[in-house]
Structure 1
């Protein structure tokens, strides 16, 4: 998405929560001889471009802090960290600092569904109405973002694959406009949170209580597109959380904790920050006329509250160390430190392009690229970014995992989603030269 800063203090939920498009390093990596990169990395080549990016943003006080983790294969990551948990604060940011990862929750939810598919408790092309009967007779807006009463029947059922890839035809309150957006707000279909503060333009609609209620109410509203026809960023990963609950017989948050976080050694990933961990929680900033202003202070954060329901699309708080472990597990095709967390086939399929053949990406953020289980797929890379400036990916061609965390909104106020992968690619090119 284009670089943009606020000209006024009015912030919309759409601009704040939208994770934006991010460019993976895949295209740059595609032409890089990985054997040469491997030789260079064993020699301890520095990540000079990534380091320079981190220094620039923090030293210019565009952000309070920035932490990058970069890891090869099964090796421990290199960490580049700068800044403090809050502007003017004394506590330095490090790999164990806590960040609102927003849409970087989506790949985690996607991989949870892939686990159930691998175990035979879900099928990739299974109609979700088999688990959630309310979705058996969906209607679709005749005009995109038009009337919510002028509708036509859905031409095909919504499937698990479509939920994984944002092709189910569902809307998003942070993307849509007009009556459907108003209906989402009125019904409490708000799968994310920003602040306790009364921020102008943010909206104060009350989210529904319970993932089951969210799913039931969502089923009563029309789709914005025919299922399986077009990639459109949506609440599909939040709905997928309910599908996971029904298929597994476990609460969604319990499933993530017991089946992914605990087995993978992710000890700092939650839907709400425990009181005991506030001391390492970052403050989130809104960028107003180029200046960071605290919008969700750590000690008074909305993330200290239990969420109305576990937001599978944008709800998690995590640390750079924890998210690196998730990436390390993916790079190991489900294995981490000798322990299998997810089946190899589940990871291979989930990190590949599983877009329905009937769906187009023309005119979207991912035009000409692929999409896997909750994340973009291109040239050997899989990953996604978050609305508060976080971005992470694995690249199987390079055997690399890369993650950057900072906290500001909206994500497009600075070109970090694009800049970090480009800095990684530039450093890999330099490593290629060093290994020549």
Structure 2
């Protein structure tokens, strides 16, 4: 089946059989773009379209990592620099004696936190694979972790002060802890550049790549084409944020872990830039966005995780996303880079095939059943990537 038709079938089935209100899916390489839309922006509302705006949640992380590497290219940051240069609140972190210990059962940090620790999620402040610890509760209650909704957050300085009052789950560089590092990175980038995080993204990535629909706030003209966000409630779905909701109000904290809205075409532009070695598309003026060495660092695989790792499931983490180092499932492809968002989104790049895949829905991921709604599209993308990588002779 031709790619566009196969993609449309997957999108239609997600809506008709798997309880997703709407979908925009895309698979593209440097020459071909296939996009499919199905369902509705809101239940009973307007049809889903290619330019629908979604809350992308943790798909924010790869974009933040790329912005950080852009500042490294410009000499504003160094990956091996202690973060205390910009974040003095983190000068003397404490470390839990055990990741499940009480918050006051700590020892001093043995080494300083580095910029790379935050980007690689080895800094120590974040979720371990045990979500029942005192630290996990504090991250949720005091730092609003797991809540991409921007309403009610304090400003960056107040948020970081609260973050600095919490202990690390492990010594810097001696473990992996999810999410919080990217909110800290967001504060760091803003301070290092002397402007808001949104302005840093616009300067380094969004403007050069023509990502006109990506940001931390919805412009008035975006509101009518923004999807309503839903969460499962019993046997149905409950709206949790409308087009004129949290992303249109006063936003004090621009979350580097999950605060962006975007569209399929914007995310394709970002992914294709990575596959082009850091070059912007000719349609947006061309030019260098990231150095080849920065792109190589983003796409470089790390150490495999345990097969039962709650976040990585045997794969590795690079900067901003995971990199497949083992093919355990039909949708795994060695070298595949990217991540999923808890709002029902995914972005993956397949370097060996020069391919990008995007999956955007507005149904929150609450468990394995929700994540499995992505499987048909990711499997389709994986099959195509493997076929392209093998070449026509095969």
- Same fold by TM-score, threshold 0.5 exceeded? yes
Q: Which residue is equivalent to 1:311? A: 255
Q: CA deviation at 1:183?
A: 3.5
1:35-54 correspondence runs (5 A): 45-47=2-4, 49-54=6-11
1:65 is the counterpart of 2:22? yes
Aligned to 1:10: none
Q: For residue 128 of structure 1, report the CA deviation from its aligned partner.
A: 1.0
From 225, 238, 241, the counterpart of 1:293: 238
Q: How many residues align?
A: 376
Quote the residue 1:110 is aligned against: 65
Q: Deviations over 1:234-254 (max 9, x none)?
A: 300110011112222222111
CA distance in 2, matches of 1:76, 1:425: 16
The offset of 1:130, in angstroms, is 2.5
Q: 1:207 to 1:145 in 2, by over 3 A?
A: farther
Structure 1: runs of 5+ lacking an equivalent: 1-43, 197-205
- In structure 2, relative to structure 1, the CA distance for the partners of 1:377 and 1:61 (3 Å cut) is closer
CA contact (8 A) 1:189 1:218 kept: no
Which of residues 128, 141, 148 is equivalent to 2:96?
141
1:361 is displaced (CA, Å) by: 3.2
TM superposition shift of 1:165: 1.4
- What residue is the counterpart of 2:320 in the other structure? 374
- In structure 2, how many angstroms separate the alpha carbons of the residues matched to 1:229 and 1:153? 14
Post-superposition offset of 1:268: 0.4
- The CA deviation at 1:93 is 1.5
Deviation at 1:103, TM superposition (A): 0.2
Q: CA deviation at 1:426?
A: 3.1
TM-score normalised per structure 1: 0.79
The Cα shift of 1:98 comes to 0.4
Q: Which residue of 1 aligns with 2:265?
A: 321
Give 1:350's aligned residue.
298
CA contact (8 A) 2:8 2:38 kept: no
Q: 1:45 to 1:420 in 2, by over 3 A?
A: closer
How far apart are residue 416 of structure 1 and its match?
3.0
Structure-2 separation of matches of 1:173 and 1:317: 27
Tell me, what secondary structure is at the counterpart of 2:353?
A: coil
Aligned to 1:390: 345
143 and 132 in structure 1: CA distance in 2 versus 1, 3 angstrom threshold: same
Aligned-pair distance for 1:351?
1.8
Gaps of 5+ in 2: 325-333
Which protein has greater RCO, CA pairs closer than 8 Å, 6+ apart? 1
> 1:430: Cα distance to partner?
6.7
Superposition RMSD in Å: 2.6
1:416 is aligned to 2:348: no
Q: SS at 2:238's partner residue?
A: strand
How far, CA to CA, are the matches of 1:174 and 1:54 in structure 2? 32
- 1:47 and 1:308 mapped to 2: Cα distance? 41
**8 Å CA contact 1:282, 1:407 repeated in 2:** yes
Shift of the alpha carbon at 1:191? 6.9
* Residue 215 (structure 1) aligned with residue 160 (structure 2): yes
Q: CA deviation at 1:411?
A: 4.7
Report which stretch shifted further, 289-298 or 180-189. Answer: 180-189
Q: Is the 8 A contact 1:353 1:372 kept in 2?
A: yes
Matched, 1:243 2:188: yes
Q: Deviations over 1:290-331 (max 9, x none)?
A: 4223222224x2222232310000000101111111111111
- On the 8 A contact 1:286/1:408 being kept in 2, the answer is yes
